[in-house]
Chains A and B, each alone.
Chain A
Amino acid sequence: MKRQLEKYAGKLIADGVADASRMAVLAKDDRILEVGCPEVLRLGRAVLERLNVVSLVVAAPSLPLVDVLFGRLSPQASAIVPLDTETRTFLHDIPVVRRDQFSVEQPDRLVELLGQRKGVLVEGVGIMTTGSVTVELGYINYCSIYHALFIKILLDFLQGKPPTLKEIESLHPLWKRLQTPIPELIDDLREVRLDAHEDILSAMELAGRRTVELQLVDSFFGNISCRKGARQYISQTGASLDELSGCIDIVADDNSSTAGITASSELIAHRAIYQQTGCVTILHGHPKFSVILSLLCEETDCRIEDCWRECQRVRYFCGTPIVAGEVGAGGIAKKVPPVIGKTGTAIVYGHGVFATGTRDFAGPLGALIRLENDCRREYLRLLQDRVTDSSASLLMAQTPA
């Protein structure tokens, strides 16, 4: 279990979602095991001791997103409602806890809220999440909340109150990172032929790992598949895209075996895409700026409340279709296949991107990267239009040419 703690503490840092100097990961075996910095550990221990769960992650995000959030929240707000599909599905609303509501000596409010929800946003601390089964689950919940927070704040910059100079300054590392487009590291994927069983597995593992390394997914989720004859190789549900070895199911088109019951929840969507497009590979990720732009809807006279599920429109960004649809049997399988054929990519509202390839994984991964780079540029352009001159100059000075 100690190894698990170290593994996921390392992943939080490698993913770029946690500040290494302000984080702790703890787990309960027959005693509490922990890694992290002493100050955060004290709080973590005080909370975990009182919860009937396996693990707890406490960390300040690498970007000061929690500080920005609390600066924008109304004093009455008790929770935020995530806008991205995954977090909305699996975590619902996320409670917020203010600085004056807890201390290491009196963590009752944190314990109470973590007894209700999988994670909370804590002023002055960051994100706290629990894992009911494993350390990994605490890590996944942390990454989901980080993802939700990122999407919510950056969307709010465009749709709500424009960002202040202070907010722009505080997110300086982000703007700086956006100056460099995500590199198209795909050439090695072109070299792998998808003929032999072992080659297909290797190609999927490599493409999955690269997708995570390029941060085109939140935590390690997303899914990947390859069609070979009347069968489909597809990542298993909950599989780490960067650790796919032993986590790929082979599913026959005719359902002659149900061993693939552990396949990704998007198996239905992948199957329908293969049937309707004749493609050979599919990659699905959750690139943040593609998700943010998908949520920017200019419709003003619309009665639909559950846009994630009920919207029937097809919108476009740079020629890429955007459709609604929820996870699994929730509609993606119906709405994506009819629109993905022309461009080889489709964005699902508030969720992520499906990309197809006709011969290898270089195609879909390259498409995912290019789309995300386009979305980043468009996001910055839209943001520049909303900020004051001094903020804009700061932002513009660091905007990629």
Chain B
Amino acid sequence: MNGWCGRLLAVDLSSDRIWVEPLKEELLQTYLGGRGLGVRLLRDSYHLDPFAPEIPLVFAVGPLCGTPAPTAARLAVVSRSPLTGTIYDCSAGGRFAWRLKSAGFDALRITGRSLTPKVLAITPQGGELLPAPELWGQPIGETVRVLSARGSVAAIGPAGENRVLFGNIMMGEGNAVGRGGLGALMGAKQLKAITVDGDRRCDVADRPRFDQARKDIMRLFRASPVIFGDLGIAEYGTPALVDLMAQRRMAPTENFRKTVFSRSGQYSGPAIRKAYQPKKDGCYGCPIQCKKSTPEGVPLPEYETVSHFGALNGVDDLRSIVQSNTICNQLGMDTISAAVTLAAWGELRGEFLHTEEVAPLLRDIAFRRGDGDLLAQGSARLAAHKGQPDLSMSVKGLELPAYDPRGAYGMALAYCTSNRGGCHLRAYPISHEILRKPVATDRFSFAGKARIIKIAEDTNATIDSLVACKFSFFGASLEEYGELLSATTGCEYDPQHLKSIGERIYLTERFYNQQNGFTAAADQLPERFFVEPGSSGEGIEVPPIDRLRFAEELEKYYRMRGLTSEGRFVDADFLEHQP
């Protein structure tokens, strides 16, 4: 078998048992890996409470991981989110995925709950559970330092230990398994960290074909201004978007009350470069190296983080923003959800946080002290608790990232149709609505957006299963990645076939959510976006979203998905017909 190992490492923390299970080739060919494989592996347990000991936490790599395929040294972590209650996956880079594959595993499935804190150490020979009482309570940096001799590390910080609902799992290199609180789920299992090391080579079935596809992809990367342009993400990281979002008047400001923050230039890509002289950093084998870190190796914030700890909270101090990022990384918390929750808190109390209040409150959230205990539950629970649920800027309980939906109507729709809640990456319409890739679309129009979003969701479900980085698709497409996959595995995959795999994955997730009680009512934006305008100016009008037009396009979307007008499955036995 090329591309896959055909093995899953199963760990039951309740009984301290570790064993290897075979993964059938047919299953791997059908679900690829990453998100698809993880979602499939949850078929018998998607209904479990996220904090139930029996719920599996799945780490799954993809068939391209371990090969020189650009941006494919990634994995997906899949379970049910304690924050949203939806099925949940998150893709992360670093070196952990590559090492897991090199240890000879396509997936790791962790169930049960340990009575005491543990570390799981994985090698090609299998796994071992080590006691880790001394690491419990330690921040990520210290945990990684202690464990780094054992290979790559994925760990939780105090936030995960304390079940902060947006607690992350952090990769040792600074990459986050973020957003949906899978760190809290890992904390509930009393699993502090996982280490992995391996040296297995990943063979490719057809090397000349692989090399040709790789060459084609690299040519497309070089042709993409977003990737390798003078002002692109390889140079400035994702904060390259700060200036663009300001110019487009869609930078969420003061809990989405406004869409322009006049002082955003203080934390733009060029401002970060000037202040920190960052070095290029990134995931294993990635040619883009979009991550930026200080010369001392401290990761610098991404676009979402600078914008939300900046504009969204009315903060213009770059040092404070970088500090917030570092605190979240060290304590293991999602920066988007943390910042949106702080902004909601600011609006609820009638005053946004002063710069000096941010860091202490972030620590209080991670350790669940004082007001932090309530904020640790995310903005939706916080706002509901305070009797003003409309002030949570979230969809399905997941806090919205830094693209105001009033400035991009495809994004507005995609936030709602996303199976994991308010996420920009499921359909990533920013690619065409803002970055003009592969072509530009009219960001202030709903025309045709339902179909575009549907196709993009299918495509991205595939990408998350390969597992490749979304940024690759500012240049390349499934055409080239299909070639890489075919060359790697020896099985033929073309874009149409791959999109059908993605469609199955998307529908499976939606079905899980439906069975867990989600209805069309959850496919809705916060009321603010339908009644309050954004910040118009400089010839750009940012009106509230037309509710009727939004509803029409959402209904079209349901039709295209084969769902009822209420967004429900016609076939109650949908899962039984899936491989």
Instruction: Show the binding face of A for B, using Cβ within 8 Å.
Output: 1, 4, 27-30, 51-54, 89-90, 92, 111-112, 114-118, 131-134, 136-137, 140, 236-239, 247, 251, 255-265, 267-268, 271, 326-330
Contact = CB atoms under 8 A, between A and B. Distances in A.
Contacts of A251: 231
A260 to B, nearest CB: 5
Given A52-B496, A257-B268, A258-B269, A264 B225 contact: yes
Given A27-B448, A54-B455, A238-B440, A265 B223 contact: yes
Interface in B410-434: 432, 434
Interface stretch (B99-107, B239-247, B275-283, B512-520): B239-247
Which among B220, B436, B438, B450 has the greatest number of chain A C-beta atoms within 10 A?
Answer: B438
Contacts of B455: 52-54, 132-133
B17 interface: no
Contact of A51 (B441, B459, B496): B496
Interface stretch (B51-59, B69-77, B497-505): B497-505
B438 A133 contact: yes
Contacts of B440: 236, 238-239, 247
B437 A238 contact: yes
Contacts of B448: 1, 4, 27, 29, 54, 134
B247 A259 contact: yes
Given A237-B436, A259-B246, A261-B241, 5 more contacts: A30-B451, A92-B479, A265-B225, A268-B230, A328-B229
Contact of A261 (B244, B452, B480, B503): B244
A65 to B, nearest CB: 24
B222 interface: yes
Contacts of B503: 52
Contacts of A30: 450-451, 556, 559-560
Interface of B: 216, 219-220, 222-226, 228-232, 236, 239-244, 246-247, 265, 268-270, 432, 434-441, 447-448, 450-452, 455, 458-459, 477, 479-480, 482, 494-497, 499-500, 503, 556, 559-560
Nearest to A91: B479
Q: Which 8 A-B pairs have the closest CB atoms?
A: A115-B496, A327-B223, A116-B494, A259-B243, A329-B228, A330-B222, A328-B223, A329-B222
Contact of B223 (A136, A261, A263, A330): A330
B242 A258 contact: yes
Contacts of A89: 219-220, 223
Contact of A238 (B439, B499, B559, B560): B439
Contacts of A52: 455, 458, 496, 499-500, 503
B225 A133 contact: no
A134 B439 CA distance: 8
A271 B224 CA distance: 16
Nearest to A252: B270
A326 B218 CA distance: 11
Nearest to B239: A258
A52 B556 CA distance: 16
16 contacts: A4-B448, A29-B556, A30-B556, A89-B220, A132-B455, A133-B441, A134-B441, A236-B440, A237-B436, A237-B437, A259-B244, A261-B231, A262-B244, A263-B225, A326-B219, A326-B223
Contacts of B232: 261
B487 to A, nearest CB: 14
Contact of A263 (B229, B441, B560): B229
Contacts of A140: 439
Given A116-B479, A136-B439, A328 B228 contact: yes
Contacts of A327: 219, 222-223
Contacts of B451: 28-30, 54
A256 B270 contact: yes
A328 B222 CA distance: 6
Which among A92, A132, A261, A263 has the greatest number of chain B C-beta atoms within 10 A?
Answer: A261
A74 B226 CA distance: 41
Contacts of B479: 92, 116-118
A116 B482 contact: yes
B435 A261 contact: yes
Contacts of A117: 479
B439 A137 contact: yes
A132 B222 contact: no
Nearest to A131: B439
B243 A258 contact: yes
A72 B480 CA distance: 28
Which among B219, B225, B242, B246 has the greatest number of chain A C-beta atoms within 10 A?
Answer: B225
A326 to B, nearest CB: 6
Contact of B225 (A116, A237, A326): A237
A153 B471 CA distance: 36
Contacts of A131: 439
A233 to B, nearest CB: 15
Given A53-B455, A262-B244, A267-B225, A133 B230 contact: no
B475 to A, nearest CB: 9
Contacts of A328: 222-225, 228-229
Nearest to B477: A132
A258 B231 contact: yes
Contacts of B434: 262
Contacts of A29: 448, 450-451, 556
Nearest to A140: B439
A92 B232 CA distance: 25
Given A92-B479, A134-B448, A330-B219, A115 B495 contact: yes
A255 B243 CA distance: 11
Nearest to A135: B448
Given A134-B441, A236-B436, A326-B219, A261 B225 contact: yes
B134 to A, nearest CB: 44
A201 to B, nearest CB: 13
Given A52-B503, A54-B455, A117-B479, A268 B223 contact: no
A328 B482 CA distance: 24
Contacts of B495: 115-116
Nearest to A261: B231
Contacts of A236: 436, 440
A4 B445 CA distance: 13
A318 B236 CA distance: 42
A45 to B, nearest CB: 16
B229 A90 contact: no
A258 B244 contact: yes
B54 to A, nearest CB: 37
A268 B447 contact: no
B216 A1 contact: no
B494 A115 contact: yes
Nearest to A250: B247
A263 B438 contact: no
Contacts of B270: 255-258
Contacts of B229: 261, 263, 265, 267-268, 328-329
A27 B449 CA distance: 12
Nearest to B448: A1
B539 to A, nearest CB: 9
A239 B455 CA distance: 23
Contacts of A53: 455
Nearest to A308: B219
Which among B224, B436, B480 has the greatest number of chain A C-beta atoms within 10 A?
Answer: B436
A247 B442 CA distance: 12
Contacts of B236: 258
A255 B230 contact: yes
Contacts of B241: 258, 261
A87 B244 CA distance: 29
A312 B159 CA distance: 56
A258 B244 CA distance: 7
Nearest to A262: B436
B536 to A, nearest CB: 16
B304 to A, nearest CB: 16
A89 B269 CA distance: 29
B447 A262 contact: no
B351 to A, nearest CB: 31
Contacts of B477: 132
